[in-house]
Chain A
Amino acid sequence: MALVRLRGPLKKLAGDRSDHSIEAGTVCDLLRELERAHPAMGGWILDERGLVRRHIAVFVNDECVREDAPVSSEDRVDVLPAISGG
């Protein structure tokens, strides 16, 4: 199972736990599974279209990816607010 790491308000919504092991084929499936396990997270990462919100960054290992990226059981997935600006 992939290891998902959350922080800030997402961690709080997910039972105040940062690490979650989830089995899924894609980032979108993984995030949907996370929402199912923690309904309070619904709409916080994915919008109604199933897209990752514009200012959320999802990293699979070291690579920033979109929702259709594949995920394997060895992967580490970090979900965090995208920091940008000057």
Chain B
Amino acid sequence: MTELLVGTKKGLFVLEGEPGAEFGVKARAFAGEPVEYAMRDPRTGRLLASVTSAFYGPKIWYTDDPSGEWEQAEGVALPEGGEAALERIWTIVDGEGDGDGDRTLYAGGDPGVLFESHDDGATWELNRALWEHPTRPSWEPGGGGLCLHSIVPWPGDPDRLAMGISAVGVWLTEDGGETWHQGNEGLVARYLPEESREDSDTLCVHRLQRAPRRPERMFIQFHGGVYRSDDAGETWTDIGAGLPSDFGFPLVLDPADPDSAYVIPLAADMDRVTPDGRVRVYETRDAGESWTERGDGLPQQDAYLTVLRHGLDRRGEGEELELYFGTTTGEVFGSADAAASWSSVAAHLPPVYSVRAR
């Protein structure tokens, strides 16, 4: 049985089903509220959701039973009395513990902020080093805000963490978040005038992932290109040749294969729909040397869909890799055979913001 946590414009939907079949709605929470992201901590089974009420602001909620009561987490706020307010929580990620049974959780949000929890999400603390980083006054938001949307731990090493912030590029720490530096060499902001590109830090990373079996290898879906790093995110090489466009948002990897990546290109930044009216996932198994179209079972005619940055996820690995993605038209598609074939998992949901598979 696979569980999908689907964050939508009108609540969280917990779907359950067998891989390759249609799923059913097991629970719905936060009816009417935008749920940007939800995840289940694999270590505890606890669910955490980020909800940004149009009226009452962004919150993180947690529960051990999605059909039951949810508790509001504490500490998910910026320092009082400043000039900024927390706009939104984009992602929640289980991190590596500090030992002695510690379980770390991270949350990333707008305006480019990182929170950390060591009590399974009940209370959170702002990462001060990133909040007070001397370059912050020059940070520029992307179209979705100044969003810290990707947090990728280093398996087995709680001190090493990489993050993607739109539009401030890749951020790296090797001391557990005490200090941060950027890892942007090789990323090219083709959306800027040519003469401005070289020294610009306005780098619109859309999604960042790490290959867990080879953690120095990372991939980015950029606002103009797909990139790979083989040195833990310090330098990047464009591997987007062969894709139908250089624009898109989501990105997942097969944990069993450090050479793998899956993306869903959109036509262009000014036309954010699947190209040519065809829905296709693209797969590489050679670290971006080549890309293979995977659209069997997906709509191939007059289908102009949008998949947001957290709209694609996977479960399992290798030959048992399952992939799922949701669209802003409220459809969820799934593959039980590593993208070789696809089918509808759910339809008629509200616009999908995020999908997490367990």
A contact residues vs B (CB 8 Å cutoff): 9, 40, 42-45, 47-51, 53, 55-56, 81-82
B54 touches A55 (CB 8 A): yes
Task: Find chain A residues with CB under 8 A from B80 CB.
Answer: 48, 50
A43 to B84, CA, bound (A): 13
What 1/0 mask marks residues of chain B from 62 to 87 whose CB sits below 8 Å from any chain A CB? 00000000001000011111111110
A56 to B85, CA, bound (A): 15
Q: Which of A42, A48, A51, A53 contacts B55 (CB 8 A)?
A: A53
B contact residues vs A (CB 8 Å cutoff): 54-57, 59, 72, 77-86
B56 touches A9 (CB 8 A): yes
A43 touches B57 (CB 8 A): yes
Contact flag A49-B57 (CB < 8 Å), given A40-B72, A43-B77: no
| Chain B contact residues, majority secondary structure | loop
Task: Find chain B residues with CB under 8 A from A50 CB.
Answer: 80-81
Task: Find chain A residues with CB under 8 A from B84 CB.
Answer: 48-49
Task: Find chain A residues with CB under 8 A from B86 CB.
Answer: 47-48
Contact flag A51-B56 (CB < 8 Å), given A40-B72, A43-B77: no
Task: Find chain B residues with CB under 8 A from A49 CB.
Answer: 81-85
Task: Find chain A residues with CB under 8 A from B78 CB.
Answer: 48
A57 to B20, CA, bound (A): 48
Task: Find chain B residues with CB under 8 A from A47 CB.
Answer: 57, 85-86
A45 to B79, CA, bound (A): 16
Q: Which of B57, B82, B84 has the most CB of A within 10 A?
A: B57
A86 to B56, CA, bound (A): 21
Q: Which of A44, A48, A53, A55 has the most CB of B within 10 A?
A: A48
B57 touches A44 (CB 8 A): yes
Closest to B58 in A: A43
A55 touches B85 (CB 8 A): no
CB of A8, distance to nearest CB on chain B (Å): 9
Task: Find chain B residues with CB under 8 A from A81 CB.
Answer: 55
Closest to A47 in B: B85
CB of B146, distance to nearest CB on chain A (Å): 15
Task: Find chain A residues with CB under 8 A from B85 CB.
Answer: 47-49, 51
B79 touches A48 (CB 8 A): yes
Task: Find chain B residues with CB under 8 A from A51 CB.
Answer: 85
Contact flag A55-B81 (CB < 8 Å), given A40-B72, A48-B86: no
Task: Find chain A residues with CB under 8 A from B82 CB.
Answer: 48-49
Q: Which 6 residue pairs spanning A and B have beta carbons closest together?
A: A47-B85, A81-B55, A48-B78, A44-B56, A55-B55, A48-B85
Task: Find chain B residues with CB under 8 A from A44 CB.
Answer: 56-57
A31 to B83, CA, bound (A): 19
A32 to B77, CA, bound (A): 16
A56 to B57, CA, bound (A): 10
Closest to A39 in B: B74
A49 to B57, CA, bound (A): 13
A46 to B227, CA, bound (A): 41
Q: Which of B55, B59, B77, B83 contacts A56 (CB 8 A)?
A: B55
A81 to B53, CA, bound (A): 11
Can you report 21 residue pairs joining A to B where beta carbons are below 8 Å apart? A40-B72, A43-B56, A43-B57, A43-B77, A44-B56, A44-B57, A45-B56, A47-B57, A47-B86, A48-B79, A48-B84, A48-B86, A49-B82, A49-B84, A51-B85, A53-B56, A53-B57, A55-B54, A55-B55, A56-B55, A56-B56
A42 to B59, CA, bound (A): 11
A82 to B53, CA, bound (A): 12
CB of A40, distance to nearest CB on chain B (Å): 7
A51 to B85, CA, bound (A): 9
Task: Find chain B residues with CB under 8 A from A42 CB.
Answer: 77
B56 touches A48 (CB 8 A): no
CB of A38, distance to nearest CB on chain B (Å): 13
CB of A22, distance to nearest CB on chain B (Å): 20
Task: Find chain A residues with CB under 8 A from B72 CB.
Answer: 40
A44 to B77, CA, bound (A): 11
Closest to A45 in B: B56
B81 touches A48 (CB 8 A): yes
A35 to B249, CA, bound (A): 39
